Amino acid sequence: MLWNIKNGSLKFPDTDMDYIRFGSGEKVLVMLPGLGDGLRTVKGTAPTMALLYRKYAKEYTVYMFSRKTCLAEGSTTRDMARDQKEAMDDLGLAEVDLLGVSMGGMIAQHFAADYPERVRKLVLTVTAPRPNPILTESVEGWMDMAREDDYPALMDSNLRRIYSEAYYWKNQRWIPLVSRLTKPDSFDRFLIQAQACLTHDAFERLPHIQAPTLVIGGARDRVLGGEASREIAERIPNAQLYLYADYGHGLYEEAKDFNRRVLNFLG
C-alpha cells in the first residue's frame, strides 16, 4: 500500500507548489485539501497520507496538491483552480477523479466547471458554493486570531468548530504543544486563502458541471453549515447528496465509512 510514494514540488515562474503522490492504481485521483493548507503545505506528508488513505492506493495513483507557496494578494478560488490545471498539465494528468474538501471543494467547483474534459467524477466534501453567515463568522474569526498572532486560539477554534465534541475534548490538551511545534513563520498565506473563501462564488456556475458528482456534508457542520452541501447538490445536474446526521466538518476523518463511500461512488 505504500508503493510509489513521492514528496514533490512543481516550479512556476514566480513560485512553486508542493504535492505528494502515493498508490499504484491505473486511475488517478486528485485530492485538494482545505484551508489548513494556508498554515502548512503537504510537503513531507506523503507517508502519513498514504497510510491514512491506504484504501485508495490499490485502485488509484493519488495526488494531493497544495496551493502555490507564494500566493498573490487577492488570489481567488478560481485563480487557484487555474493554478491546479497548470500543475496537472506539468505532471501529464489528463483526466482524473477529483475530491475537494472544504476550501479544496471550492476550488474543485471552479475546476470542474472550467475544465469539464479533465474530470471523470467529482466528490465535493463539506464545502459551500458561496459564503453564508456560518462560513463568514468562522473564517473572519480565524483571520482575526491570525492577525493577532494568537496561534493557540486559532488552533482551539479550529478544533472546536471542525470536529465533534468528543473528538475536541479528547485532543484539546495537545493544543499548547502542537501550536509551539507547528506555528508558521507568517500567516500571510493563510490570510490570502481565508479571504478567497470569503469571496468564493461558484453558485451560478454549478449547473455547468458535467461530471457525475457526489456531495457529502455534515448536518452538524459548525464551519459552513450542513445546508451548504444541500445547496450545491441542488445546483449540479443529477448530483447525489449524502448528509451525515451525526457528524460535522471533520466527517472525512471521523466517519469510519467515508472512504468506502467515496470509493463506491468513484467505482
Residues identified as active-site: 102
Residues 6 or more apart from 92 whose CB is under 8 A from it?
none
Q: Are 162 and 250 in contact (CB under 8 A)?
A: yes
Closest CA to 173 of 149, 146, 148, 155: 155
Alpha-carbon gap, residue 243 to 249, rounded angstroms:
11
Distance linking the first and last C-alpha atoms of the chain: 18
Set of cell numbers at residue 29: 485521483
Closest CA to 75 of 17, 162, 29: 17
- Rg of the chain over all Cα atoms, to the nearest angstrom: 17
| Residue type (1 letter), 221 | D
Alpha-carbon gap, residue 170 to 27, rounded angstroms:
37
Q: Give the helix/strand (H/E) hosting 99.
A: strand 96-101
